[in-house]
Structure 1
């Protein structure tokens, strides 16, 4: 088996592991709304950590076997695996809009994958690594502040946290590829700062992804994360590793179009969740007043004054869950 084929196979296995971890994370988020980041006392959360860790190990090996621009976009298949797996194992069925959004985002990323060409791997300079780490940290903090400002809109807050998580995971993969390139050239000890950045970004990505599932379902945050992750990594691969788009200017224009298609898929996923939230907020309308302003007599009882909101037997209804802001908590 060639190194390229092995990297594809490992990437697919990694996507399945990540999908399983995301499903468990979403279930933990539903059952522990008061602990958005790290519900350490829940065994299920640790199972999600193990699944994500397995996905990460397979991803690292795939990066060692293949180019960054190939391995990262294949991670977008996580959402394609997650939706049917969630329906099969936990009965979490996605709506038609979510499926359309997931397929649209995946098609956009597949086009982006086909247009990015690999080149001879080269290690970024120390200044490039420092700049990438600082820009990523600043972006993640800005997204967390934006999520805090939109805490009244769980779907928007979730997408912002998922973008931050995807950026952290994407840059973690970039630094992983950097370390792999250095080690292939015999450089080991000089990569201790890069290994530290990998650990910090991977941990931040895990915690932010857990928070993004709270009150937002599975499809929207997971699709956002799986799209942002390869886009960030592909951009870094072009700027830091010398990877380029195929077919020159035309290929670059097509790549931009594919990115727009992928973004449109995310908009569909987000809009479905926002529509669900708005439907949950629609108040029950008051009844129309009967003629004469009095209720009709029933079973020999005297007529009563009209009450637009009559009291009746208590019927259990599904009330929208109240959530705390993960950034404030």
Structure 2
């Protein structure tokens, strides 16, 4: 079988696995108390199902990179968004809205334009130990700012998730190239540190996406899908000697792609705000100890912010006991 066909097939299955994992995480987030910690998640079978799907998608993605170049495999990874939006709607028992379709298509077109500007040469350069440590420290600082305590779950956590996942992919490339090209000993302090950073950022990306999906799936997943390749490309351009193709034309195409992707995310955000929260499947009640349901009201913070739900305190009727 042709290597390109194998790469495409593996990428499609990988995207489907990532999409199913995103839907599972979103459903779990909707059924879990917002104050529940990581240990509470570790006790849920649905959480481990999502972890298994993400791990399977990652392994399939790595296998696809063995048969096809990054310029082929990475754009196909954006099909996660195309699969997840209808899967999420089906899980919620509703149809995909026109706004969701428009947002999905614009986001994918923007991502495609951005990824088309990347160089197609096979990777050969790797990060040195100081560079890997600098990338790790910088990523931690950015993620800490985006997901600081008290931040409302949503697009900032999604951006942090996409950044950590993209950095993990870039660091994974250093591991893969070092091992397959035999550019150094198979076991060195550099590779051990890089492997630890990959593990930490991969798990952080998973946990951050779980938090981001509490407010819905479409817009957060779009931000994750956009931030991931942007973070990886930034490391490639700054530290790994990669260059954009086409000069000025490439920069113009990248700008158009950014505008289209941002517009797509805004449309998905609006669709998410207008779509009522989906109830869980039959038999899925609130978490034990979550208390009785409260009435909610929409609290808008501005035209660019998603509405949030906050409890409305019960008021005793005038003259009542």
TM range (shorter): 0.7 to 0.9
TM-score by length of 1: 0.77
TM-score by length of 2: 0.78
1:139 corresponds in structure 2 to: 142
- 1:233-264 Cα deviation digits (max 9, x unpaired): 12222223322222122112211221221122
Instruction: Provide the aligned C-alpha RMSD in A.
Output: 2.6
- 1:50 maps to which of 49, 52, 55: 52
- 2:163 maps to which of 162, 167, 171: 167
Structure 1 segment 6-45 matched on structure 2, within 5 A: 6-34=6-34, 35=36, 37=38, 39-45=41-47
- 1:42-77 Cα deviation digits (max 9, x unpaired): 211111111011011112222344444543332221
1:233 corresponds in structure 2 to: 232
| Structure 2: distance between partners of 1:163 and 1:237 | 19
Is 2:193 the counterpart of 1:193? Answer: yes
Could you say if the C-alpha distance between residues 92 and 159 of structure 1 is closer, same or farther in structure 2, counting changes exceeding 3 Å? farther
Residue range with higher mean Cα deviation, 196-205 or 89-98: 89-98
Larger radius of gyration: 1
What are the ranges of 5 or more consecutive residues in structure 2 without an aligned counterpart?
A: 277-295, 300-308, 312-321
Where 2:147 maps in the other structure, the secondary structure is: helix
1:326 corresponds in structure 2 to: none
| Structure 1: distance between partners of 2:66 and 2:160 | 25
Does structure 2 conserve the Cα–Cα contact (< 8 Å) formed by 1:68 and 1:177? Answer: no
Is 2:140 the counterpart of 1:123? Answer: no
| Structure 1: distance between partners of 2:144 and 2:69 | 29
2:283 corresponds in structure 1 to: none
Where 1:59 maps in the other structure, the secondary structure is: helix
Where 2:121 maps in the other structure, the secondary structure is: coil
Does structure 1 conserve the Cα–Cα contact (< 8 Å) formed by 2:104 and 2:268? Answer: yes
| Structure 2: distance between partners of 1:93 and 1:217 | 15
1:87 corresponds in structure 2 to: 89
Is 2:298 the counterpart of 1:281? Answer: yes
